[in-house]
């Protein structure tokens, strides 16, 4: 779709192409393809490009000159190499520092107890056709088996269409798997009926990629957070009081709970989504691309918050992302998905430091601005 939009923009042979966050929320390989396409078009048509982005990795990959804006004003500008390697303004330095490093932190000691076991889960979609004939069959998830230790974070990474989000929705039973088992709290969620899922949903909660789309715009923030406990039998006054405490826990002013979702920033809405998921005190939190649409500084804040909540509450987390730099910072374990199947899994440092599968190697090599990030990481070290 992004390629089609670029083709439409270039149809009139413009002198200037303005690209407003064209690679945001795209996986690394698609991102690399879009950047290459824009560079090729520049060379062939001599088109100037004004590229708007929050990702300094992308800046390092494509920009000749850089202009840094804060609060509507330009705070720094210059040649890309100069701004990236010798930033003068504190805000520029803050943005560059917020880009997640490619190196992984020292591994944590993981619990020997397993809280979630996924065994042989599969999901197939059938679309089109008449009376079952000529239908298009898509194997979205193929025989996936994973284990989540108690208190750990398991990252599931891969390109768009790799099956990671479908797997996440199978785990929380937003969609029904065709085969396999999902054992949590001694029960196989793959076999639970809808009434049983509603009763057991307190054990596992989900945080979605787009917090604005997942929050009811007609309800105030505190009511959104208190809704789950109220449905499960908690008195309204108690649930509201607990919601305000959760606001503090996720770094929001409790008095802000009287505002509606549209009155918050993207990062604040994601914190509300986290508070809502935590309101039922789940054992497992499934986070589906929770920071992909956020700028790097807000992204870093949300990642720190997740790490703190994991420590304070003893959460076990499944973290779905296409951003390998983000996964490197927060995940203890990594599972790499391609075409619905897990092609490689293990400790994060092992998988990213010594990738065995060609697909994992391709994902790591496609990270935009990889050379710049490695140079910066080496200087910091």
Interhelix angle for 2-10 vs 28-45, to 10°?
Answer: 10
> Greater confidence, 68 or 30?
68
Which sign, positive or negative, has the C-alpha torsion 82, 86, 91, 94?
A: positive
Please compute the mean of the pLDDT values over residues 241-249 and round it to a whole number.
90
Residues 130-148: tens digit of each pLDDT: 665 667 788 999 999 999 9
pLDDT at 103: 78
Domain residue ranges in the chain: 2-98, 148-176+186-368
Q: What distance, in Å, lies between the first and last C-alpha atoms of the chain? A: 40
Asked if residues 288 and 209 have their Cβ atoms less than 8 Å apart, the reply is: yes
Please compute the mean of the pLDDT values over residues 220-239 and round it to a whole number.
90
Q: What are phi and psi of 357, to 5 degrees?
A: -85, 140
Residues 198-210: tens digit of each pLDDT: 888 889 999 887 7
Nearest partner of 56 among 376, 301, 379, judged by Cα: 376
pLDDT at 154: 97
Asked if residues 141 and 118 have their Cβ atoms less than 8 Å apart, the reply is: no
Helices assigned H by DSSP within the chain: 2-10, 28-45, 56-62, 80-85, 90-98, 164-171, 194-200, 211-214, 221-231, 236-249, 266-278, 296-313, 324-330, 348-353, 358-365, 370-380
Flag whether pLDDT at 267 surpasses 70.
yes
> Greater confidence, 259 or 55?
259
pLDDT at 65: 95
The C-alpha atoms of residue 323 and residue 340 are separated, in whole angstroms, by 18
Mean pLDDT, the chain, integer: 87
The strand pairing partners of 349, in sequence order, are none
Strands 179-184 and 153-157: unpaired
Q: CATH topology for 148-176+186-368? A: Rossmann fold (3.40.50)
Flag whether pLDDT at 1 surpasses 80.
no
pLDDT at 134: 65
Residue that has been written with the tokens 């720094």 in this structure: 76
Tell me the three state secondary structure of residue 347: strand
Same fold, 2-98 and 148-176+186-368: yes
Residue that has been written with the tokens 């413009």 in this structure: 14
Share of the chain above pLDDT 90, in %: 41
Assign 215 a pLDDT band (cuts: 50, 70, 90). Answer: confident
> Greater confidence, 141 or 300?
141
Assign 361 a pLDDT band (cuts: 50, 70, 90). Answer: very high
Asked if residues 259 and 220 have their Cβ atoms less than 8 Å apart, the reply is: yes
Residues 13-35: tens digit of each pLDDT: 788 888 888 887 677 888 888 88
> Quick one: CATH architecture of 2-98?
3-Layer(aba) Sandwich (3.40)
Flag whether pLDDT at 211 surpasses 80.
no
Asked if residues 17 and 48 have their Cβ atoms less than 8 Å apart, the reply is: yes
Give the burial string for 112-128 (b: 16+ CB within 10 Å, else e). Answer: eeebbebbebbbeeeee
pTM for the full model?
0.83
Nearest partner of 264 among 241, 313, 298, judged by Cα: 298
The C-alpha atoms of residue 294 and residue 24 are separated, in whole angstroms, by 9
Mean pLDDT is lowest, of 84-93, 182-191, 256-265, 347-356, for 256-265
pLDDT at 381: 55
Joined together, the tokens standing for residue 44 give 């062939």
> Greater confidence, 172 or 37?
172
Q: How far is CA 293 from the centre of its chain?
A: 8
Please compute the mean of the pLDDT values over residues 254-279 and round it to a whole number.
86
Tell me the three state secondary structure of residue 291: coil
């Amino acid at each position: 779709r992004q390629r089609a939009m670029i083709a439409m923009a270039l149809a009139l042979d413009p002198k200037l192409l303005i690209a407003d966050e064209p690679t945001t929320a795209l996986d690394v390989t698609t991102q690399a393809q879009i950047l290459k396409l824009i560079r090729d078009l520049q060379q062939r048509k001599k088109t100037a490009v004004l590229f708007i982005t929050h990702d300094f990795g992308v800046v390092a990959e494509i920009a000749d000159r850089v202009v840094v804006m804060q609060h509507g004003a330009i705070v720094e500008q210059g040649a890309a190499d100069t701004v990236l390697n010798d930033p003068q303004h504190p805000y520029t330095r803050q943005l560059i520092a917020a880009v997640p490093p490619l190196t992984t932190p020292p591994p944590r000691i993981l619990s020997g107890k397993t809280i979630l076991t996924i065994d042989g889960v599969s999901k197939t979609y059938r679309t089109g056709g008449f009376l079952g004939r000529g239908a298009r069959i898509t194997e979205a998830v193929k025989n996936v088996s994973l284990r989540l230790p108690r208190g750990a974070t398991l990252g599931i990474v891969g390109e768009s269409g790799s099956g990671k989000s479908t797997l996440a929705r199978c785990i929380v039973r937003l969609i029904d798997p065709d085969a396999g088992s999902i054992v949590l709290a001694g029960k196989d969620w793959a076999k639970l009926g809808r009434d049983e899922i509603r009763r057991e949903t307190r054990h596992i909660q989900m945080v979605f990629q787009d917090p604005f789309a997942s929050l009811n715009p007609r309800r105030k923030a505190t009511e959104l957070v208190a809704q789950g406990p109220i449905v499960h039998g908690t008195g309204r006054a108690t649930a509201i009081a607990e919601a305000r405490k959760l606001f503090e826990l996720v770094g929001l002013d409790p008095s802000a709970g009287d505002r509606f979702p549209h009155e918050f920033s993207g990062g604040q809405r994601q914190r509300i989504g986290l508070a809502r998921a935590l309101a039922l005190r789940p054992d497992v939190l499934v986070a589906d691309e929770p920071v992909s649409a956020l700028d790097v500084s807000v992204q870093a804040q949300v990642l720190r918050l997740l790490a703190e909540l994991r420590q304070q509450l003893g959460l076990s987390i499944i973290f779905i992302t296409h951003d390998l730099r983000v996964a490197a910072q927060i995940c203890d374990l990594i599972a790499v998905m391609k075409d619905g199947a897990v092609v490689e899994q293990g400790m994060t440092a092992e998988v990213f430091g010594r990738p065995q599968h060609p697909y994992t190697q391709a994902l790591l090599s496609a990270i935009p601005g990889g050379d710049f990030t490695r140079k910066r990481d080496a200087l910091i070290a």
